[in-house]
Structure 1
Amino acid sequence: MDKASQTRAAQLLHHRSAGLKKGDPISLPIVPAATFHLPEVAGASHIYGRNGITTWEAVEEQLALLENAPCVSFPSGMAAISAALMATLKVGAKLIIPADGYYVTRVLSEVFLAPFGVEVVQIGTAEYAAYDFSGAAVVYLETPSNPGLDVVDIAAVSTRAHAAGALVIVDNTTMTPLLQRPLDLGADLVVAADTKAPAGHSDVLFGHVAGRDAGLMARVRDWRRLSGAVPGPFEAWQVHRGIETLEVRLERMCASAGVIATRLAAHRAVANLRYPGLASDASYAISKAQMAGFGFLIGFELLDEARAERFLSECPYIVQSTSFGGTHTSGERRARWGDKVAPGFIRLSVGIEPLEPLWAAMEVALNS
């Protein structure tokens, strides 16, 4: 992790310090208020719980430090994605989305946006490099893609999309702002599911939208207020606590993932391994240029569905989960969700377990 990322990680741990008074709690208080004392409205810091409460505002301050941009928090990653799309699209608009990205974004676009008059165009992540964005209102990309881990050159795509008159939204869930900074590379908005690595403990749903255009962020904030897609105070407190250890967790997760990816690539049972940090990976050059680290996700194939399921069930240090970024190493055979991957494809999310016991358990399961 580079020096700038380390500085941001230090700042977020102390972002409340300057405002603390003698006797104030160091830990963020949970404020479960829906209503506030309002003898008059003018000058009130808080009016109604749907407009804002101090607990999730504190999380937004953390995220704003990481993104170096204003942030609006949401009760899930999909709520954040929905808000970004609703803030930037209208009837007749053309939306470009990745055909090999997170499948729920595709479902949302097909089932709700298309019937509302949005033209939805799906292209593969690899196609973004040369695709003609003429006529597009929004170019939405996910990099590295989930689950295939293809990488898009954010700066190059943003330049071409802007030249065509389109806004650029980047789903940065797989990397977090500590490892990749799409806004610095030209994106207009960033969306992320903080359910994953930022919260980190697989016990809360959360998301955010970040951006530096005041008009766009005002629309995002209005969508949250008017739709009622607001986070709860306890959930915000959980995420705030998780973010405080994000940097130290990522450091181990990414380091372990790099070693495990190298060892998996050399194993006779493994085929078509993808990890952006391997020099042999098709995405390595772009990843090295635009990332501060290579992440904790690895994609690879075993012979078939049965072999993949057996590996996942026999490894005691892999939990079978459909999410990623938690403290536990998790794995999933993604074809069961309809992703266009081989039947034996596994998405592996490396956790914070000590490396050698984790690898030893994986190796036994692979060899069996």
Structure 2
Amino acid sequence: MDDHSLNRAARLLHHRKAGLSQGDPAVPPITATATFHLPHVQAGGHFYGRNGLPTWEAVEAQLALLEEADCVSFPSGMAAIAAALFASLKQGARLVVPADGYYVTRVLSQGFLAPFGVTVTELPTRNFATADFTGVDVVYLETPSNPGLDAVDITATVSRARAAGARVIADNTTMTPYLQRPLDLGCDMVVAADTKAPSGHSDVLFGHVASRDPALVARVRDWRRMSGAIPGPFEAFLVHRGLETLELRLSRMCASAAVLADRLAAHPAVKNLRYPGLKGDRSYGVTCAQAANGGFLIVFELADAEIAEAFLARCPLLEQTTSFGGTHSSAERRARWGDAVAEGFIRLSVGIEPVDELWAAIRDALPAQG
């Protein structure tokens, strides 16, 4: 990570200090209330739990420091994605989404936005940088894509979208603001599932929307208030705690992923490995230009579903769970969810285990040959 990212990591750990008085708790309290003392409506302060809570605001201050933008928190990544899309679209609008990105975004777009009169077009991630966006209102990109890890040049995509009069929303879940900064590259909004690496412990659902456009932020806040898609105070407390160790965890996770990707690529049973930080990967050049490193996700294929499932069952240091970004390494066969991937396709999320121990467990669980 560059010096600026490290500076933000240091400031994040002390972001509450300036507002503390003698005897105040150093850790933000869990404010569990729906109502507040309100003798005078126009006197300021909090007034209702759907409009704001101190515990959310502590997390939003952390996220704002990381994104260098206003942030609005949500009870899940999908709640953040829905807010960004519903705040940006209206009947008759045209939306472009990645055909190979997170499948629930496509389900939301086709199942709910399209019936409201939004035209939804699906496009492979690597085609975004050269696509014709004439007549499009919102370009929604995800890079690297989940689960395929194809990357697209964000700056080039934004340039083409701007020329067509479109806004750009970027899902930055796989990289976090430490590794990739879509707002700096021109995007109008960023969405992310803080369920993943930011919280880091696989014990909370959370998400956020970030933007430097005050009008967009206000509209997203209105959507949260009116839809009631609000995070809980205990969940916010957990995310606040997790964010304090994000930079440290990412350093281990990404360094280990680079080592494992190189070793997995050389294994005779492993086919079609993708890791954006691996030289020779088709996402490598774009990733080097716009991200700090290749991240902590690796995907590869084993011969078939049976062999893939046997590998996952044999490896003692891989949790068989969906999602990613936790302290523990995890992996799953993505075809079981209906992604358009080979039956033996595995998405591996590298955790914070010592890398040589993790590699030994993976190596011993892999079949000897393809």
Give the Cα separation in 2 of the matches to 1:126 and 1:289: 15
Query: Would you say the 8 A contact 1:38–1:44 is kept in 2?
Result: no
| One-letter identity of the residue aligned with 1:114 | A
Give the Cα separation in 2 of the matches to 1:110 and 1:83: 16
* Residue 168 (structure 1) aligns with: 168
* Residue 187 (structure 1) aligns with: 187
Give the Cα separation in 2 of the matches to 1:258 and 1:7: 24
* Residue 58 (structure 1) aligns with: 58
Give the Cα separation in 1 of the matches to 2:295 and 2:355: 15
| One-letter identity of the residue aligned with 2:221 | R
Question: Alpha-carbon deviations, 1:195-228, whole Å to 9, x = none?
Answer: 0000000000000000001111110000000000
| One-letter identity of the residue aligned with 2:346 | I
* Residue 345 (structure 1) aligns with: 345
Offset, 1:134: 0.4
Give the Cα separation in 2 of the matches to 1:297 and 1:247: 16
Offset, 1:40: 0.5
User: Is it true that 1:282 corresponds to 2:279 in the alignment?
Assistant: no
Give the Cα separation in 2 of the matches to 1:104 and 1:286: 25
Give the Cα separation in 1 of the matches to 2:47 and 2:167: 33
Question: Alpha-carbon deviations, 1:27-47, whole Å to 9, x = none?
Answer: 111111110111101122101
| One-letter identity of the residue aligned with 2:51 | N
Offset, 1:24: 1.2
**Structure 1 stretches (4+) deviating beyond 6 angstroms?**
none
Give the Cα separation in 1 of the matches to 2:56 and 2:45: 14
Offset, 1:25: 1.1
| One-letter identity of the residue aligned with 1:221 | R
* Residue 272 (structure 1) aligns with: 272
Offset, 1:4: 1.1
Name the SS for the 2:356 alignment partner.
helix
Question: Alpha-carbon deviations, 1:7-27, whole Å to 9, x = none?
Answer: 111111100011111111111
5 Å matches for 1:138-157? 138-157=138-157
* Residue 49 (structure 1) aligns with: 49
* Residue 229 (structure 2) aligns with: 229
The size of the alignment, in residue pairs, is: 368
| One-letter identity of the residue aligned with 2:312 | L
Give the Cα separation in 2 of the matches to 1:127 and 1:154: 12
What TM-score, normalized by structure 2, do the two folds share?
A: 0.99
What TM-score, normalized by structure 1, do the two folds share?
A: 0.99
* Residue 39 (structure 1) aligns with: 39
* Residue 75 (structure 1) aligns with: 75
* Residue 111 (structure 2) aligns with: 111
User: Is it true that 1:123 corresponds to 2:123 in the alignment?
Assistant: yes
Residue identity over aligned pairs, in percent, reads 70
Query: Would you say the 8 A contact 1:96–1:138 is kept in 2?
Result: yes
Unaligned runs of 5+ in 1: none
| One-letter identity of the residue aligned with 1:204 | V
Offset, 1:72: 0.1
| One-letter identity of the residue aligned with 2:206 | F
Higher alpha-carbon deviation: 135-144 or 1-10: 1-10
Higher alpha-carbon deviation: 37-46 or 341-350: 37-46
RMSD of the alignment, in Å? Answer: 0.7
Offset, 1:340: 0.7
Unaligned runs of 5+ in 2: none
Question: Alpha-carbon deviations, 1:67-117, whole Å to 9, x = none?
Answer: 000000000000000000001000010000000000000000111010110
